[in-house]
Each structure stands twice: as structure tokens, then as C-alpha cells.
Amino acid sequence: MRSLLVGAALLVVGLLAVLTGVLPTSDALELVERVWPILLFVVAITVVTELAADAGLFRAVAERLARWGRRRTLVLWLLIIVLATASTVFLSLDTTAVLLTPVVVVLARHIGVSPIPFALTTVWLANTGSLLLPVSNLTNLLAQHELDGVDPATFASVTAVPALVAVVVPLVIVFVVYRRDLVGTYEPETAEPAADRILLTISGIVIVLLVPALVSGVEVWLPATIAAVVLLAVFAVRRPAVVRPNLVPWSLLVMASGLFLVVEAGHALGLADLLGRVIGSGDDLGSLLGVAGAGALGANVANNLPAYLALEPIAGSPERLVALLIGVNAGPLITPWASLATLLWHERLKAEGVEISWPRYALLGLVAAPLTVGLAVVAFALTR
């Protein structure tokens, strides 16, 4: 409810900016054209996840992972790292937050350990692991356009080293903080049979087909929407009570829309010029750290997508653009609204009945974000 109220307030401010002419209608329409596919993807992938979870798909996956872990929690954590990193790199950070979070929560309960270290690993890697390929993050797709549409291999050759650093640093922090939870053995619970094998099978087929479709080059909202429609139709026949309006993440949609409008209004008032004077120019290490720091700060204050859009005009060079990506991709680790992935992750945690301490999350992020962004920028500067 709190996020819905905050989002509604932001949305009202944004709409007032349009009505009063502070944000020209043409700019607002251009913004809508840029962000509607993102928001539609968020809605569709959330519906898919809710229905797949209700079908028992994530429990089935968790039970399989528990067997692969060979009763060692550390091995299980390493499996989660591989899954989260691969999912983020090839499917996008939002997909990781939505699809993997319920798996790791169910998995933790299945083996009788706290879900927090597994969940934190998932959301941190969803953000910090999203530097390598254009498809990993919408900010990368926007930057790819600014870099004259370089192919994914060229993009990866530039971002590979900072991407590796951005994955490793948060994992070290998670292990140090939660080492007592991650080192030990477990006895998995007895597997429960699916309530509806047909729903479980169809949900599994839909997810298996959706994964390659999301990296096929087609705009991701399209396969996600098709998957959502298919599952809605099947559930409407076999379990109609599940098909309800609250499958849609309304609070997240309102907050994201409000954030986009408010930042765009700031852009219209000269935000980019102000930021340009504060950050300065140059491609030396200090300047790159400044750009990345501004991106990380903007992401945690507002959101990584509006932060990128606000700072993109002052990047000015490929090196500064990569530094900006490091900031807005690897830096959103402090506030719950810093990225859509984090908001989606929180929605999944609430759906699974997991409470997260935001003060503790923020304190850990205050350690992880500067270290991750700073070391990734240094690695980039030394190898460019």
C-alpha cells in the first residue's frame, strides 16, 4: 500500500507537469512510446510467474535443485549463483527477479534454511550481473543505440571485465555476511505431488518456450504477453478462481509510471545541464568514477531507468557511457525502488510470505554498491 501511495503521488506530480506545460505533451508522448513495452513486459511476466507458481512449477524446480545440491548448502548456493548469473545475462534482470526468486524461496524452505541469503544473492546478481549483453538490461539496449548499434559480441568485449567484477564483489559480501547459513548440510523435505499435473506440465512448457523467445531478438513484451494469455486461458478453464485482478502488480506500475514522468519533467527543466556542470567531462579514472557514482546515486534516489535517461545526454563518449552503465546497473543495491528488478523481487517475496528488513538491506547495499561500482570502474579503466 505504501508503494502505491508513493507511486500515486509521483504520478500526480508528473501529470501536473504535463497539464501545466512544464513537460511538453510531445515529450510525454515520446516517453510513453519508450516505456510502454517495459511496463507491458513487467505485467505479462508477473502474471506468468504468479500462475506458474500456483501450478507448483517453482516447487518442482526447487526440489530438483535440492537433489543436485547433494545435501550441501554451499553447493546449492553455487547452483543459484550460476542460474541467477546466466538468467540475468541472457534473459534480463527483470526475468531473473521474477522467475528465480520464488524458486530460491521455496528451495530454502524445502531444505530448512533462511531464504534471505538466497534471495539477496538473486536480487543483487539480477542487478550487478546485467552488464554483459544488450539484452541483459534495458539500459544496455538504450546504450547500444547510442553506440551506433554495436553487435552483442562487440558490446560484451567492452563490458566483460567490469561485468565479471560486478558479479564477484557482491558474492564475496554475501558469503562473508551469511557464511554460517551457507556452510553446512541439509536434509530436503519429502517432495509433494502436484495438485494438477496438467497445469504443472503446461506451465513448464510455457516457461521453457518463453526463455529462448526472450533472447530471440523479438521485443520481450510480445512473447511474455503471449505466454500470459496462454496461461490465463488454461487457468480460466481448470482453476478459474486463480484468475483475478490482483495478478497485475498495480503498485509497481503506478510507481514506475510516476518515476518516469517526474524525471522526464526534470529533464525538461534542465536537469541534464545541471548534472553536466556537476559531473564535468573527461575520460580519466576520476571522471569515470564521477559518472558511475552519479548513475548509482540517481538509481537509488529515483530508479535506474530514469537515472540513465537523465544522464545519457551528458555521457559524451563511449567510455563515459560504459561508466554510466556500471553505475545504473551495478549500483541499484540500496533502495527498494532502485530498479524494476528490485521492485519485482520484493513483489515475489511478499507473494511467498517472506519479510525483508529494508534498513538491513539498505545498510548492506551501502557497503556493496560503492565497492562494486568503484572496483568495476577501476577494472574497466585499467583494461580499456
Radius of gyration (Cα) for the chain, nearest Å?
A: 21
Q: With H, G, I as helix, E, B as strand and everything else as coil, classify residue 72.
A: strand
pLDDT tens digits for range 156-182: 889 999 999 999 999 999 999 999 989
Mean pLDDT over 247-267 rounds to: 81
Q: Phi, psi (5° rounding) for residue 24?
A: -55, 145
pLDDT tens digits for range 143-155: 877 777 777 888 8
What rounded mean pLDDT belongs to the chain? 86
- 152-182 vs 116-128: helix axis angle to the nearest 10? 160
The neighbour count for residue 235, using CB atoms within 10 Å, is 23
Query: What's the CA gap between 345 and 115, in Å, rounded?
Result: 13
354 contact partners, CB below 8 Å, separation of at least 6 = 105, 115, 116, 119
In percent, the amount of the chain with pLDDT more than 70 equals: 95
Asked if the model's pLDDT at residue 187 lies above 90, the reply is: no
Residue-by-residue DSSP string for 337-365:
TSSHHHHHHHHHHHHTT----HHHHHHHH
Asked if the model's pLDDT at residue 91 lies above 80, the reply is: no
More confident: 235 or 210: 235
Our CA dihedral for 31, 308, 311, 290, rounded to 10 degrees, sits at 170
Rounded to whole angstroms, the maximal C-alpha distance in the chain is 62
Mean pLDDT over 110-129 rounds to: 92
- What is the identity of the amino acid at 110? H
Residue-by-residue DSSP string for 98-139:
HHHHHHHHHHHHHHTS-SHHHHHHHHHHHHHTTTSSGGG-HH
169 contact partners, CB below 8 Å, separation of at least 6 = 128, 368, 371, 372, 375, 376
pLDDT score, position 238: 92
Q: Where are the alpha helices (DSSP H) in the chain?
A: 2-19, 25-54, 57-68, 73-91, 93-111, 116-128, 138-146, 152-182, 197-214, 221-238, 250-268, 271-279, 285-301, 304-311, 318-330, 340-351, 358-383
The neighbour count for residue 313, using CB atoms within 10 Å, is 14
pLDDT tens digits for range 12-47: 888 888 888 888 888 888 888 877 887 888 788 888
Asked if the model's pLDDT at residue 90 lies above 90, the reply is: no
pLDDT score, position 373: 97
Query: What's the CA gap between 366 and 173, in Å, rounded?
Result: 12
